[in-house]
Amino acid sequence: MQIEEHRAFQESFWKVERVAWIVFGLTLLAAVLGVTGSRGWLQRQTMTFAGGAVDGPRFSRWEASDTLNASLAGGGNERRLILSPEFFRSFQVEDMDPPPISAEAGDEGLVYRFRSASRQPLVLTLHLRAQSPGVVSYRIGMDDEPAQAVRTIVWP
C-alpha cells in the first residue's frame, strides 16, 4: 500500500518542533536561574552601603509575597533606612520585623529609624507584595549615604 508523503511539510514541522524545544529549554533555564521570580541565582540583588547592606528582589511576581532584607550596623546608634516614594507606589509593606522606632516622610522618601543596643548587626525583614506588574525603579538609602537606584521586574 502506497501512502502519499508530504516530505516538505514534514521537514518544516520538524524545524518548528526543534525551535519549540529550544524555547522550552530556555524557559526552563530562566526559571532555574530565578528570572521568573521563584528563587534562583539571579532572583535577588544586593546594594551595599558603608553602614550595611540591603538585599531585595530583582524579579518578583504580581500579588505574591516577597522580602526585602537589610543588615544595619549595630552599636546603639540610630540607623536609618530610606525608601523612595516610587517604592510604595508599586509595593505594599505587609510587615516589618523588627518594627522601627519611628517612620516619617522626608525629602528622599519614607525614613524608617532603628536602634540596636547590641554590637551585632541589626537584621531587618520587610515583607512585601507587588501591587502591579511592570518594571519598577526606586531608590534605597541608608543613614547619610547617597541613595542607590534599584530596578525590579514584576511579572504578571
pLDDT at 16: 96
- Residue 55 lies inside a defined structural domain of this protein: yes
What pLDDT score was predicted for residue 30?
A: 87
- Which three cell numbers, joined as nine digits, stand for 20? 519549540
Residue 20 lies in a domain: no
Judge whether 96 lies within some domain: yes
Q: How many distinct structural domains can be found in the chain?
A: 1
Q: What is the CATH number of the domain that holds 141?
A: 2.60.40.680
Indicate whether 144 belongs to any domain: yes
* Residue 33 located in a structural domain: no
* Domain span holding position 130: 44-155
Cα dist. 118→41, 100, 107, 113, 121 in Å?
A: 32, 16, 30, 16, 8
Q: Are strands 122-130 and 134-142 parallel, antiparallel or unpaired?
A: unpaired
Give me the pLDDT at residue 65, please: 92
The per-residue pLDDT string of the chain (156 residues; one tens digit each, 9 = 90 and over) reads 667 778 888 899 999 999 999 999 999 998 888 887 777 788 899 999 988 999 999 999 998 999 999 999 877 788 999 999 999 999 999 999 999 999 999 888 999 999 888 888 889 999 999 999 999 999 999 988 999 999 999 999
Has residue 85 been placed in a domain? yes
C-alpha cell recorded at residue 97: 520585623
